[in-house]
Amino acid sequence: MSQPILSKPGIHLVSLEKLQLIGLHVTVPFELGKDGERSVHRVREEFRRRRHEIHHAVHPARYVCAHYASEVLFTYFYCLEVSSLHTIPGGMTGFTVPPHRYAAIRSEGDPYLEIENGLLSRGLRKDTKALALEFYSFERPLWPSEVDVYVPLLPTSEEEI
């Protein structure tokens, strides 16, 4: 699966086919200072060290961060997209993200705020039960200016028919 780099400004409405991902995850509370030894940054560094253990990478030069949140906890995955989930390295998780429609953006500012404001103006809503995705390049993982952010959308009434 190949997502284009979002080079045009603004919010793009796109559909992605299923993604198969393998990687490491961390769940932390939103309270500052409560993330302990498995902080988001420590898991990122462990993922970068261990990424060579993941076989069948579709795009070895980029990684995908999938995440979701509740009112108190945040779960963040560092993954490679793979063509097969048959071999999952020890301590890692493999899973399939089903097809979704997304609002996508690459932004110099807060991409999530820009998408939320854009969705409201278009009468669209995010799907809070689905995973949001961030596509990073290993070479230039600069937040937010070099990251493509995809927020899943609830189906519209026309799509449900």
Q: Note the pLDDT of residue 107.
A: 92
Q: Note the pLDDT of residue 37.
A: 60
For the chain, report the end-to-end CA distance as a whole number of angstroms.
27
Please list the ranges in the chain whose pLDDT falls under 50: 1-2, 159-161
Q: Note the pLDDT of residue 160.
A: 41
Q: Note the pLDDT of residue 124.
A: 92
Annotate 110-127 with b (16+ C-beta within 10 A) or e (fewer): ebbebbeebbeeeebebe
In contact, 131 and 96? CB cutoff 8 Å: no
Q: Note the pLDDT of residue 1.
A: 44
Q: Note the pLDDT of residue 157.
A: 61
Q: Note the pLDDT of residue 158.
A: 54
Q: Note the pLDDT of residue 10.
A: 87
In contact, 84 and 138? CB cutoff 8 Å: no
User: Distance between CA atoms of 26 and 148, rounded to whole angstroms?
Assistant: 21
